[in-house]
């Protein structure tokens, strides 16, 4: 099967953004801001970059694996997983409802296809990704591990434990991406806890760092291709990806205010008016 074009990826992203705002609106809870900002990335990852097998098994041998460390942006992941065929799109309607497999934060307990570890408590995903990457090496499996973290999440010390470990152990089958949106719950990261020069920090820890524009499909695709080429050279790869929180819905863009707030009925209608229904709503 040939890979989708940039235009086709953008059409998928438009549908995913519709799914996100509809999902959080339906339960008046969840995290639209980070989800919308990372939509283009996750679409490019699943529909372009990753080498994926059909179906799902926990061990994921012989394919690339993705770990979402900033678990609060579950809406975008669930939508992308469903649109990529891991489970029925109609199941998106159960998000955050009782007896759903689509928990507020990702969980493995009910066997939702595509999910290999729970996340939500921030700071843990890079460690898990390192372990999964080491397991791939032990198994002689040449496929890659991808991980996504928030920028505010970098305030957790465990991230830097993992960063140090990955460089020391030459975990060079790992491509970690930071959602560099400059926002967290209480405000801009620069006000809450300035992150300084993230690129220089990771480089100082021994990583290869590339930069990308996370709301430009062509930039994401080419940066993921570049990142893949850089694997296998003794260093872990960091993709420092600038995004706008809330991208795609004009009144949500660029502010932490939509980190974890759902739109009301009028706001939903406004948002959906800005997002073309390309693949059919769930």
Ligand X SMILES: Cc1ncc(C[n+]2csc(CCOP(=O)(O)OP(=O)(O)O)c2C)c(N)n1
Q: Which residues bind other proteins (CB under 8 A)?
A: 58-61, 65, 67, 107-109, 116-121, 123-136, 138-139, 141, 157-158, 161-162, 164-165, 168-169
> Can you count the helices (H) and strands (E) in the chain?
10, 7
Cβ at position 202, least distance to other proteins in Å: 16
Tokens at residue 92, please?
């998106």
Binding-site partner at residue 209 among Mg ion, ligand X, other proteins, none, CB < 5 to 8 Å by type: none
Q: Any contact of residue 152 with Mg ion (CB under 5 A)?
A: yes
Q: Any contact of residue 151 with Mg ion (CB under 5 A)?
A: yes
Burial degree of 214 (CB within 10 A; 0-12, 13-18, 19+): buried
Residues 122, 72: Cα–Cα separation, whole Å: 9
Interacting residues toward ligand X by CB under 6 A: 34, 70, 72-73, 120-123, 150-153, 179, 181, 183-185, 245, 259
Q: Any contact of residue 150 with Mg ion (CB under 5 A)?
A: yes
Q: Among all residues, whose Cβ is closest to ligand X?
A: 150
* Start-end of H helices in the chain: 6-27, 32-37, 39-44, 74-83, 125-138, 157-168, 189-192, 198-204, 217-230, 265-273
Q: Any contact of residue 183 with Mg ion (CB under 5 A)?
A: yes
Nearest to 75 by CA among 31, 118, 110, 41: 31
Binding-site partner at residue 185 among Mg ion, ligand X, other proteins, none, CB < 5 to 8 Å by type: ligand X
List residues binding Mg ion (CB under 5 A). 150-152, 181, 183
């Amino acid at each position: 099967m040939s890979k989708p074009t940039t235009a086709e990826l953008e059409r998928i992203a438009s549908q995913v953004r519709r799914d996100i705002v509809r999902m959080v609106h339906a339960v008046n809870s969840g995290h639209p801001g980070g989800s919308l900002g990372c939509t283009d990335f996750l679409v490019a990852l699943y529909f372009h970059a990753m080498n994926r097998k059909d179906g799902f098994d926990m061990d994921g041998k012989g394919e690339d694996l993705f770990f979402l460390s900033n678990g609060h942006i579950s809406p975008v992941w669930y939508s992308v997983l469903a649109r990529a065929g891991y489970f029925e799109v109609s199941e998106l309607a159960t998000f955050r409802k009782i007896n759903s497999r689509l928990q507020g934060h990702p969980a493995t307990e009910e066997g939702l296809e595509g999910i290999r570890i729970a996340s939500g408590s921030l700071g843990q995903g890079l460690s898990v990704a390192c372990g999964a990457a080491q397991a791939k090496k032990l198994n002689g499996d040449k496929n890659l591990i991808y991980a996504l973290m928030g920028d505010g999440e970098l305030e957790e010390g465990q991230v830097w434990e993992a960063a140090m470990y990955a460089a020391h152990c030459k975990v060079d089958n790992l491509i970690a991406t930071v959602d560099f949106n400059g926002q967290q719950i209480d405000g801009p990261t620069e006000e809450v806890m300035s992150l300084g020069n993230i690129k220089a920090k990771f480089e100082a820890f021994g990583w290869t760092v590339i930069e990308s524009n996370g709301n430009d499909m062509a930039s994401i695709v080419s940066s993921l291709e570049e990142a893949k080429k850089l694997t296998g050279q003794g260093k872990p790869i960091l993709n420092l990806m600038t995004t706008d929180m809330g991208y795609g819905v004009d009144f949500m863009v660029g502010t932490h205010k939509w980190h974890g707030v759902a739109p009301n009925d009028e706001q939903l209608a406004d948002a959906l008016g800005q997002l073309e229904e390309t693949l059919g709503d769930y």
